[in-house]
A and B are shown apart, each in its own frame.
Chain A
Amino acid sequence: MNEAITGKTKITNKLINQNYDGPLLTVKNLAVDYPIIGGIFMRQIGTVKAVRDISFSVYPDETLGIVGESGCGKTTIAKTILNLVESSKGEIWYKNIRIDNRLKKMRKVRQKIQMVFQDPDASLSPRMKIVDIVGEPLRNLQGMRDGTEIRRKVLLLLKQVSLKAEHLDRFPHEFSGGQKQRIVIARALACEPDVICLDEPTSALDVSVQAQILNLLKDLQEKFHIAYVFITHDLSVIHHIGHRIGVMYLGLFVETGTIDDIFYNTQHPYTKALLSARPAVSEDEKQHKIILEGEIPSPSNPPTGCSFHPRCQEKMLPECNKESPHETILSDTHHVWCWKYAK
């Protein structure tokens, strides 16, 4: 086991590229608070607890899906991993290097952890050519300077995502939504990353294009052994591409497990409701609908006890509205946070 790198140790390329057997990315007890600024003196008048206590790890060749409704803190996790948002508690490790809140040293690590955002329109600069967009990480993170060399590398990357040489000198507005998302993926691949955080990469796309992107992501994973952190609200997408899933509700995991655990051995009432709310497309997928009342509560003022209890349709136990449920280990991979299983 390699020793842990924290504090002021300089992060070098050698450190980043070392062989390491453990998980690529480890998140321990992560919490992120956003301040609410208000009042006449613009002081902090409250906090939005976007992420409250999240732990997981990601291994090579694996896709970890994070599923939940909007406002449950999925995107904040991805942003915190890339240090785009400061965490208030907890640790994030890349291999054996601690990376949380070390903004200045992040540059080297950024080569290895990349992100793909939801809206490809917003993540491509409309005034840059594709060759500059995809070449930017090569210039900035890997220090490549030679124009022709960058062009050659970019073309290789575009070919990986089934785009052609003629696309090199075009501008983003000349592409369709699916092609734009391919360009964003090509850019993320530029520095040969180990982990890519995908924040709802297909939710803005049509089904037929979504299928193309999902197949592409699967192929790339096989080819380059990348680990994905796949954030989505669509359970069928994660069923197709994922290996392990964490279901989130209001900044906490409510159930984690493999695909089989979550889809065919569902335990938590929220996961059950999410699964049943998904519109079915054939007779054998159709099931009894559990329609949740109301909406996700405000993260600035979460309910006491289990945060799901105001919408939960199971019989309420006395603990439910008093104390947060503990983690219950059902099997090696299947963990659930619900009082029903706590004993």
Chain B
Amino acid sequence: MMSKTLNDSQSRKEQDTSNKTNGVLLDVKDLHTYFFTEEGIVKAVDGVSFQINYDEILGLVGETGCGKSVTALSLLKLIRSPGEILSGQILFDGDDIVSKTEDEMLKIRGNSITMMFQDPMNSLNPVMKVGDQLAEVYLLHQMDNLKAELIKAREKNKRLKENLKRMKNELKTSSPDGAETLKNQIKAIKEQIKFRITITNMAHRESAALLDRIGLPNADTIINRYPHELSGGMRQRIMIAMGLACNSKLLICDEPTTALDVTIQAQILDMIRELKRKLKNSVLFITHSLGVIYELCDRVAVMYSGNIVEYGPVENIFKKPMHPYTKGLMGAIPRVTKASRESELQIIPGMVPNLIYPPNGCRFHPRCDHAMQICKEINPPLKLMENNVQVACHLFDEDKSNSTLFRKLTFEEKQEDVL
């Protein structure tokens, strides 16, 4: 009941704002997040720009250490010292998040943007019952709604009590056979007002209803359990429930299915898809599995070493990857087709660069088969190609007349920048 009213108001709000921001919910512009460590400056996110539209799932894919998670943490300003968001804009519904204070952020986190972390065991409190943890979300972020509900419930109770009084009076004067039905009615009402209505109780009731909605069986018993009593899939579902408790406009999922079996992963992905269809919120889905991206997302951004190298609709990128790194990643996936078994898996030579001393120019050039002189000097910007795909690669430069710049590099030349 409560969430329904909330949904309505939210969709109305969305219509207002979507006109204002042209259908873009989150607009990240040239984000730089660096970590100032003793060894040097780790350029974890170095000039990342992307947009998330309303009612869309954007996938962020890349290998370990490419800056996916740091990007997500930056969106919530959860970067801790020695890390810092150096420059860039994060426009959420037209508001810049980067300039917000910590107090203002507390209101945004959980309410408008929710994050779901990778390891459900580490993100759930082991000494608190699951129901209490879920109720906490409601108590922190939806106090106003809860209070309104509470007043409603109390009024209802009052009415019931008055009824009860009236019935008891009637009972004294009524005939013997009418008394029997009256007694039964009184019993039913007493059952209804047995529970004391407090705000915590309301929150608990909401949590159970939420678990029911996301398809966990026996929600009433589950809220009284501790996290260690639940299986990995169930814990992940509790985390998702927590993320959904506030009907946030943006849900950030940081590798939510990495630790799970394929069958459970399929269940969770199905659930996220179903919920997104119902709630019409936007999702930023971070993963290293290209398969999950293909199954779930509308658009995808491929990250490499702090930069986005390819960005566009999933269908187009998977059908025809353009950037050599994306191509390499696709080739590295073992496929289940008869032809693929005979051939060797493609590999990307070398390793992910050290983010303290990244290679000059394009950060992928030491591992790239097509590396040219210009790749060593200029980091290519994202460039719009056909099919709405944006690619950051010098291979697609139009003007290739300068033959010294577009000379192919030898292996030794490529390795000069690698430390």
Contacts and interface: CB of A to CB of B under 8 A. Distances in A.
Interface of A: 69-70, 176-178, 206-212, 214-215, 218, 233-237, 239-241, 259, 263-264, 273-285, 289, 291-292, 295-296
Of B233, B336, B338, most buried by chain A (CB within 10 Å of CB) is B336
Pick from B291, B292, B332, B334 the residue with the most CB of A within 10 Å: B334
A279 B270 CA distance: 12
A236 B263 contact: no
Given A214-B345, A277-B263, A208 B337 contact: no
Contacts of A283: 319
Interface of B: 63-64, 231-234, 261-267, 269-270, 288-292, 294-295, 318-319, 328-338, 340-341, 344-348, 351-352
Contact of B347 (A211, A273, A292): A211
A273 B262 CA distance: 10
B63 A285 contact: no
Nearest to B269: A279
Contact of B334 (A206, A233, A236, A276): A236
Given A280-B295, A285-B335, A289-B270, A70 B289 contact: no
A178 B328 CA distance: 17
Nearest to B348: A208
Contacts of B340: 240
B344 A264 contact: no
Interface of B is mostly: helix
Given A211-B345, A291-B266, A295-B231, A239 B295 contact: no
B295 A279 contact: yes
A42 B333 CA distance: 49
A214 B333 CA distance: 11
Contact of B291 (A210, A264, A280): A280
B266 A277 contact: yes
17 contacts: A69-B262, A69-B263, A207-B289, A207-B290, A233-B261, A235-B262, A240-B345, A276-B266, A277-B263, A278-B262, A279-B294, A280-B291, A282-B318, A291-B266, A291-B270, A292-B267, A295-B264
B377 to A, nearest CB: 26
Nearest to B231: A295
A285 B329 CA distance: 17
B262 A236 contact: no
Contacts of B332: 207-208, 210-211
B234 to A, nearest CB: 8
A278 B291 contact: yes
Given A206-B288, A281-B290, A236 B347 contact: no
A264 B340 CA distance: 14
A208 B265 CA distance: 21
Given A233-B262, A277-B263, A239 B291 contact: no
Given A70-B261, A211-B347, A277-B263, A237 B334 contact: yes
Nearest to B66: A206
Nearest to B264: A295
B262 A274 contact: yes
B336 A215 contact: no
B63 A218 contact: no
Nearest to A276: B266
Contacts of B232: 70
Contacts of B331: 211
Contacts of B347: 208, 211-212, 215
A279 B273 CA distance: 14
B261 A69 contact: yes
Contacts of B318: 281-282
A264 B338 contact: yes
A222 B346 CA distance: 18
Given A215-B344, A292-B263, A281 B338 contact: no
A278 B336 contact: yes
A266 B178 CA distance: 68
A274 B263 contact: yes
Given A178-B351, A207-B63, 10 more contacts: A206-B288, A207-B288, A233-B262, A235-B336, A236-B335, A236-B336, A237-B334, A240-B345, A281-B291, A282-B318
Nearest to A242: B341
B294 A281 contact: yes
A269 to B, nearest CB: 12
Contact of A208 (B267, B294, B328, B338): B328
Contacts of B63: 206-209
A324 to B, nearest CB: 21
B263 A280 contact: no
A282 B267 contact: no
Q: Which 10 A-B pairs have the closest CB atoms?
A: A279-B291, A211-B332, A240-B334, A277-B266, A211-B345, A206-B63, A236-B334, A69-B261, A277-B262, A208-B348
A307 to B, nearest CB: 15
A281 B330 contact: yes
Contacts of A235: 262, 336
B64 A177 contact: yes
B266 A236 contact: no
Contacts of A211: 331-334, 345-347
A11 B263 CA distance: 44
Nearest to B330: A281
A282 B335 contact: yes
A214 B334 contact: yes
B314 to A, nearest CB: 10
B337 A284 contact: yes
Contacts of B328: 208
Contacts of A277: 262-263, 265-266
Nearest to A216: B347
A282 B262 CA distance: 18
Contacts of B292: 279
Contact of B345 (A215, A233, A234): A215
A229 to B, nearest CB: 18
A281 B333 contact: yes
Nearest to A179: B351
Contacts of A295: 231, 233-234, 264
Contact of A285 (B264, B270, B337): B337
A281 B340 CA distance: 13
A313 to B, nearest CB: 12
Nearest to B63: A206
Most buried by A among B261, B294, B346: B261
A240 B265 contact: no
